[in-house]
Amino acid sequence: MDIARSWLVAVVVYLVGATVTATLGIGARVTEEDLTGGGAITWNALPTALTFLLMTLLARAVHPDPARRRPLRHAIASLGAPVVLTLLGVVLGAVQQDWNEMAVSTAAALVGTGVGWALGLLLRRPSRSY
């Protein structure tokens, strides 16, 4: 049940992030031309990386302490939903044959997940007192 809770939190963060990104894009009247070059980074990569960073951090945060002591279980709880959603994005990008957007989204998702995992490790480190 502890893994399901982590995944549920990650999926909710994903849905909120996707909704906010789409709302901002619609409000700014982003066009296809805006999504080329630097616009792809602004409107796609940055929100995706931030969303996946938050997904990973919050999935780690809600995973209870006794289960955290089992590294494989903790990794599955923290990274399961981000990995599955990244793979879903790859499949959807392949079906739509939108290779550039798929590459940008996948790279941003992997960077966000990696940074979220590393940040979670740094935030959980016990402080040393001398």
d(CA 66, CA 8): 19
pLDDT category of residue 128 using cuts at 50, 70 and 90? low
More confidently predicted of 2 and 115: 115
What DSSP assignment string belongs to 60-99? HHHS-HHHHTSHHHHHHHHHHHHHHHHHHHHHHHHHHT-H
Contacts of 79 (CB under 8 A, 6+ apart): 56, 59, 113, 117
What pLDDT digit, counting tens, does each position of 92-115 carry?
A: 989 988 888 888 899 999 999 999
Predicted confidence at residue 31, as pLDDT, reads: 74
Integer CA distances (angstroms), 48 to 1, 45, 65, in order: 27, 5, 28
Integer CA distances (angstroms), 80 to 28, 36, 85, 97, 101, in order: 33, 30, 9, 25, 23
Q: pTM of this prediction?
A: 0.84
- Asked if the model's pLDDT at residue 88 lies above 70, the reply is yes
Predicted confidence at residue 11, as pLDDT, reads: 96
Predicted confidence at residue 23, as pLDDT, reads: 85
Integer CA distances (angstroms), 101 to 16, 40, 54, 107, in order: 20, 8, 21, 10
Predicted confidence at residue 124, as pLDDT, reads: 76
d(CA 57, CA 9): 10
Predicted confidence at residue 1, as pLDDT, reads: 79
Predicted confidence at residue 79, as pLDDT, reads: 94
Predicted confidence at residue 101, as pLDDT, reads: 81
What pLDDT digit, counting tens, does each position of 8-62 carry?
A: 999 999 999 999 988 887 777 777 776 666 666 677 788 999 999 999 999 999 9
